[in-house]
Amino acid sequence: MISRDEYFMREALKEAQKAFEYGEVPIGAIIVANNKIISKAHNEVERLKDPTAHAEMIAIATALEFFNNKYLDHCTLYVTIEPCPMCAGALSLTRISKIIYAASDIKYGYTLFHPSILHKKTEVKNGILKDDAIKLMKSFFENKR
Amino acid sequence: MISRDEYFMREALKEAQKAFEYGEVPIGAIIVANNKIISKAHNEVERLKDPTAHAEMIAIATALEFFNNKYLDHCTLYVTIEPCPMCAGALSLTRISKIIYAASDIKYGYTLFHPSILHKKTEVKNGILKDDAIKLMKSFFENKR
């Protein structure tokens, strides 16, 4: 039996895998409320020619539309790689309840800048299925060389 | 005769004034390339029920679409208030050439977090028409009380 967090992180990894197949940096995100998946997204920077089209931003936009509300304070974000400062700032503005990321981003993760970019009430957890998330990223960047 | 920067900041202030009239936090932004205004935007958080709908984010989206390019490395952003960490992160990802803001945001400006959220090649200037930008914000928040 797998935990709930592992179950949802696997869904985020499926999104990351889609990004991989489309030639996008393989990062996936999902947003969950009341144990239901509200939005699924993957990185679409290349397709949209938009460097801000990160998985988290797209997942946030869909969830905001779904709830027709300015805040996601009852939601959890699962994302395969640690959010960047832009995404952390956006998540802070939504007052999201919880962020769970698989692997740290040692180059551009928000914690390298300032952990308090996030809202003070947002809970953060990481490490779930970290190896799978890293494996996908490594294999993407190896293919690029 | 007014300077080019003052001319463009006045345009950003006109956007901020529009936001004010719509009951939005009065912040305006414009993006300029080759001395031409490519996009104009103001804060639309309330109308869109989207806490990420900051003037800068909307101006960036329009400019990216206009150039059909991932980067705005030949553009200048004029914004009436210092960008927040989300907007600074987004601006970094676009590799924008220059950011000029009127007034500092003493509560949530990106410089309070980490100045290097911005791209290392991005030039930053501030203070132009600062008093006008602050006056608009003060009058907005006084009306709210």
Separation between Cα atoms, residue B95 and residue B75, nearest integer Å: 9
By the CB < 8 Å criterion, does B94 face chain A? yes
Q: Chain A closest CA to B12's CA: distance in Å? A: 22
pLDDT in tens, A68-80: 999 999 999 999 9
CB-based contact A86:A54 (threshold 8 Å): yes
pLDDT in tens, B90-115: 999 999 999 999 999 999 999 998 87
Residue of chain A with shortest Cα separation from B96: A51
3-state secondary structure chain A: CCCHHHHHHHHHHHHHHHHHHCCCCCCEEEEEECCEEEEEEECCHHHHCCCCCCHHHHHHHHHHHHHCCCCCCCEEEEEEECCCHHHHHHHHHHCCCEEEEEECCCCCCHHHCCHHHCCCCCEEEECCCHHHHHHHHHHHHHHHC
Separation between Cα atoms, residue A94 and residue A73, nearest integer Å: 7
pTM of the predicted model as reported, rounded to 2 decimal places: 0.95
Separation between Cα atoms, residue A58 and residue A23, nearest integer Å: 17
Contact residues on chain A for B114, CB-CB shorter than 8 A:
85, 113-114
State the best of B46, B47, B50, B120 to mutate against chain A, taking most chain A CBs within 10 Å: B50
State the best of B31, B65, B86, B96 to mutate against chain A, taking most chain A CBs within 10 Å: B86
Separation between Cα atoms, residue A123 and residue A138, nearest integer Å: 28
Q: Is B56 a catalytic residue?
A: yes
By the CB < 8 Å criterion, does A23 face chain B? no
pLDDT in tens, A27-69: 999 999 999 999 999 999 999 999 999 999 999 999 999 999 9
By the CB < 8 Å criterion, does A120 face chain B? no
